[in-house]
Copies of this chain bind each other. A is one copy, B any other.
């Protein structure tokens, strides 16, 4: 089969590799229908923490089940399934607490598991899925092709935006600022709207992303950044700032922007992987700013989010502004790296 392999920074190729096999009775093998490129895939692509060897990559994908191990009960060959960006058993104590990303039997695509066995990446034709019963979620029936991009967002980007909103405590009537206009930030706008937020400010300097933010439910756009941007946010929110801030970038500047945009007593939900982000604890302390979030436990949210996708009331798939066949994966990465695309879908 063919799978995406990162050989070196910016050297990414679709290689011929061995077909995956069932290794455990709890495994499934799935045929990928569509995958996509995550903002976090760009970090190794750009050479942050380079790997010594070529590595498989990709962790967002939807599939048709091909084979299941003897102990798999929840999915059957032929099912259309969503694979969250980490696998998990969905039964351990931490999964029961909704923290599937800390599952004691969990792991991540494209990395070795705790026994050193390599997991497949998601940007390929076939994937061996560990803990298939816990990991995969089947749709009630075969979805129409037009639903595939919408369903694909459930593997990571939309529930990640949702996690930011939930962690920040967004509920009906909330006022919200979203820092970051990438696919996650835009998804966070949609998630906040879905949760009933009354007022949503999207911070964005790019016309196309501003447009999508408005389509997803933003009432206002703030293009300025830094202190000027925060001053505009405060002006919009009674002169004091927002109750809920969704931090969807992970840099020092974006976290500072989030802190400045929150009112005293406000809550930041953060899902941007912290690269150089830091928090100023004494300043947070004095202003009673709380921060929660982290790597999104996508598996915990899919049952809640799926019905709105299936009935068309929630359409997060608009984050895909580029769709390419899998054999053009290199161009898919380039387009995102050069910010020509918000998010690339790869059809298999």
Contact = CB atoms under 8 A, between A and B. Distances in A.
Copy tally for this chain in the complex stands at 2
B288 A291 contact: no
B293 A291 contact: no
A238 interface: yes
A130 interface: no
A9 B328 CA distance: 70
A17 interface: no
A295 interface: yes
A93 B267 CA distance: 17
Interface stretch (A48-56, A94-102, A142-150, A331-339): A94-102
Interface stretch (A22-30, A31-39, A275-283, A310-318): A275-283
Contacts of A279: 279, 281
A227 to B, nearest CB: 18
Nearest to A243: B97
B94 A240 contact: yes
Interface string A285-315: 1111111111101000000000000000000
A270 interface: yes
Interface string A320-346: 000000000000000000000000000
A69 interface: no
A102 B291 contact: no
A263 interface: yes
B285 A274 contact: yes
Given A274-B281, A282-B274, A288 B102 contact: yes
A273 interface: yes
Contacts of A264: 94, 97, 99, 101-102
A290 B166 CA distance: 12
Contacts of A221: none
The interface centre, meaning the residue of A97, A167, A289 with most chain B CB atoms within 10 A of its CB, is A97
A193 to B, nearest CB: 23
Contacts of A101: 264, 286, 288
A229 to B, nearest CB: 21
B293 A288 contact: yes
A93 B238 contact: yes
Contact of A288 (B263, B267, B294): B294
Contacts of A274: 281-282, 285
A282 B281 CA distance: 15
Nearest to A285: B294
Nearest to A275: B282
Nearest to A292: B290
Contacts of A278: 281
Contacts of A288: 99, 101-102, 292-295, 297
A99 B265 contact: yes
A8 interface: no
A284 interface: yes
Nearest to A99: B265
Contact of A265 (B102, B239, B265, B290): B102
8 contacts: A265-B297, A267-B292, A278-B281, A284-B294, A288-B292, A290-B290, A290-B291, A290-B293
CB-based closest 10 A-B pairs? A290-B292, A102-B264, A99-B265, A288-B294, A285-B294, A274-B281, A99-B264, A274-B282, A97-B265, A274-B285
